[in-house]
Chains A and B, each alone.
Chain A
Amino acid sequence: MSLLKIRNLSVEFATATGPFRAVDSVDVDVEKGEILAIVGESGSGKSVSMLATMGLLPWTATITADEMSFEGRDLRTMPGRERRKLIGKDLAMIFQEPMSSLNPCFTVGFQIREALKEHLDLDRKARQARAVELFEMVGIPDPERRLKAFPHQLSGGMNQRVMIAMAIACRPRLLIADEPTTALDVTIQAQILDLLTDLQKDTGMGLILITHDMGVVAETAERVAVQYAGQKVEDQKVADLFDRPHHPYTSALLAALPERATERRLPTIPGVVPGQHDRPRGCLFSPRCKFADDRCREVPPPVQPRPIGLARCHYPLNVPAGAEEERA
């Protein structure tokens, strides 16, 4: 049984100018102890699909899915009270901006002990001991003193460690990290990523890493899902994806990596992600794709089978010899 299984998830926001589809029939699978990376540009719906999983979207969002289950339990029909017992305990999430994600009015210690009090049957002393232990786990020196600090008294990196400590406080089965290093200094980024992968190894929890940094993907993840304009366009093992990308978008993304560039000028993908009002009829990537033809512009592409990386494309690249027959 997979840890998290999502089929055909769509999220629509009611906006002043009509509905906006932020996530468009996305599938997500995470196995126990697996590290899945979700990559994509800003606005590709990576965060929104995970916020929908956590149940943290505002009321303007309409969520539909054929299946949405965590350890076999259906998240769609679960009553609010049940779901609150699950999130923060078995299913935890950390966010992009550690500085603004912690409440400025309370000490970090209070905010961690609060999570423990909510989900675990520990007395005051045990909670304090567990908070100290957690701070040691995430590498915060002098934990007793730091627990008494307010978020504004700590650095961004320290605050992200606090966020991580808070998220793993109740030993979650799955941790969702939404661009955990984007707001941090480059030197701190590597430390936080190492911390996350170490914790994942030690605890055996599943980890979903949302990022737009292909370098992060290469270093940490086992499998990677590429999202574009609310759709998942490719899903492969990391090594295979870097070797043989099947979707033109993935291929263009990889070509834009500085370490892969062959010319003096870094290649770019012309154009921008389609927004609410300029969504193409056919393939969403067709206006920016150098392989696109009339069929791409008119007909939405199918999802290719697993050996072709579940690519959402009419003309996938690097198709292995055996897979071609399977398609036909």
Chain B
Amino acid sequence: MLRYLLSRLITFVPTFIGVTLISFAFIRVLPGDPIIVMAGERGLTQERYEELVQRFGFDQPLWQQFWDYLTGVVQGDLGNSFVTNRPVWDEFFTLFPATLELSLCAIIFAMVLGIPAGVIAAVYRGKFFDRALMSTALVGYSMPIFWWALLLIIVFSGWLGWTPVSGRIGLLYYFDDVTGFMLIDSLLSGQDGAFGSAVQHLILPSIVLGTIPLAVIARQTRSAMLEVLSEDYIRTARAKGLSSGRVNGLHALRNAMIPVITVIGLSVGTLMAGAILTETIFSWPGIGKWMVDSIFRRDYPVVQGGLLLIALIVMLVNLTVDVLYGLINPKIRKR
């Protein structure tokens, strides 16, 4: 197991260098000079401009800039933001809990609804529920996420007034960050209604962000279940006189989980991409919104560092998924 993990970690190295290079190149390909953007409408003198160019190292050849960046990254230094002058690392970990909290709620929402829906659809394949569910899933999958978000806001916040429009918690509450997770911090603060407010703020963004994973998980669960249900060992389980709940929910589902957790792992990438839109729409102070703002400000170190860290997270999640395979089905561990 340890050897397997090590060999997998070694394959991270080329991916890591690739992501570094792409994120470095991507932001520089965009038109717009970060120094001009920073100066804003007031403008700045030629001497001041030259000085800044030198300070940020833009006078160096590109390969030199990349090398400096890469050596910095290897030493754990992602550079400082042009705008706030704080280390990228610090900014990322201040904002990351907000994104993590939202992503976790979204994926839990998607799993809690998607897996049972897929199982039921597979067991009653071809029946009304199956068809209704699969067409709904297709709609959910193809829906533009920003439009869906706006629609939900209009209905649930505008007309019905059930949920707030934006932010992580009501303005009435204030307390210090302890963990960065609003659900935990609001409980720790002990203020009346703080937790409820945090939950209310989470509902719509979680639904919006979880919709595409929900559709993908439901469809994948259904097709995996259909395959597993025709296996010999399912017949054996039924021949033991087990209830259909136990046959489908334990014997079949456990085998069907392998492809399902694969798409869950892969949807972490989708979540990160979706978080950019969702966080922007709901003014959620997470890394998605931070990245968008930084791209507009041409904040090179933040965009580079942020992309790199997101890529790293996606890689780690997928490694975890691979380890989970072996726990679910020991036969895979042997290979």
Contact = CB atoms under 8 A, between A and B. Distances in A.
A54 B239 contact: yes
A95 B240 contact: no
A152 B333 CA distance: 11
Contacts of B243: 84
A115 interface: yes
B231 interface: yes
B328 A95 contact: no
Contact of A88 (B231, B242, B251, B330): B242
A321 interface: no
Interface string A84-115: 11111100110101001111111000000011
A56 B240 CA distance: 11
B240 A101 contact: no
Nearest to B327: A105
Given A88-B240, A88-B241, A119-B241, A105 B235 contact: no
A105 B235 CA distance: 15
Q: A interface, how many residues as a size bin?
A: 20 to 34
A86 B241 CA distance: 7
Given A105-B254, A152-B331, A152-B334, A97 B232 contact: yes
B15 interface: no
A173 B277 CA distance: 64
Nearest to B125: A59
A105 B253 CA distance: 10
A16 to B, nearest CB: 13
Contacts of A105: 251, 254-255, 328-330
Interface in A140-175: 150-152, 163, 166
Given A105-B255, A150-B331, A152-B331, A85 B241 contact: yes
Contacts of B235: 56, 95, 101
B136 interface: no
A138 to B, nearest CB: 16
B8 interface: no
Name, among B231, B241, B328, B331, the residue most crowded by chain A CB atoms within 10 Å (CB to CB): B241
A325 to B, nearest CB: 47
Contacts of A95: 232, 235-236, 239
Interface in B252-273: 254-255
Given A56-B238, A85-B241, A114-B242, A103 B251 contact: yes
Name, among B235, B237, B240, B255, the residue most crowded by chain A CB atoms within 10 Å (CB to CB): B240
Nearest to A104: B331
Nearest to A80: B244
Given A150-B330, A152-B330, A152-B331, A101 B241 contact: no
Contacts of A54: 239
B243 to A, nearest CB: 7
A100 B242 contact: no
A118 interface: yes
Contacts of B331: 104, 150-152
Interface string A64-90: 000000000000000000001111110
B236 A101 contact: yes
Contacts of A150: 330-331
Contacts of B328: 105
Nearest to A87: B241
B233 interface: yes
A151 B254 CA distance: 15
B239 A88 contact: yes
Contact of B233 (A88, A92, A104): A104
A93 B239 contact: yes
A246 B235 CA distance: 36
A86 B233 CA distance: 19
B330 A102 contact: no
A100 B239 contact: no
Contacts of A163: 236
A121 to B, nearest CB: 15
Interface string A43-73: 0000000000010100000000000000000
A151 B235 CA distance: 16
B330 A100 contact: no
A300 to B, nearest CB: 33
Given A150-B330, A150-B331, A152-B334, A102 B236 contact: yes
Interface in B298-313: none
Nearest to A88: B241
A93 B235 CA distance: 10
Interface in A246-264: none
A103 B240 contact: no
A114 B86 CA distance: 59
Nearest to A103: B233
B328 to A, nearest CB: 6
Contact of A101 (B232, B242, B254, B329): B232
Interface string A106-139: 1000000011001100000000000000000000
Interface string B202-243: 000000000000000000000000000001110111111111
Contacts of A114: 240, 242
Q: Which 4 A-B pairs have the closest CB atoms?
A: A88-B241, A88-B240, A103-B233, A100-B232
Given A88-B241, A104-B255, 9 more contacts: A84-B241, A95-B232, A101-B235, A103-B237, A103-B254, A103-B255, A104-B330, A105-B254, A152-B334
12 contacts: A56-B235, A84-B243, A95-B235, A100-B233, A103-B236, A103-B254, A104-B330, A105-B255, A105-B330, A115-B240, A118-B241, A166-B240
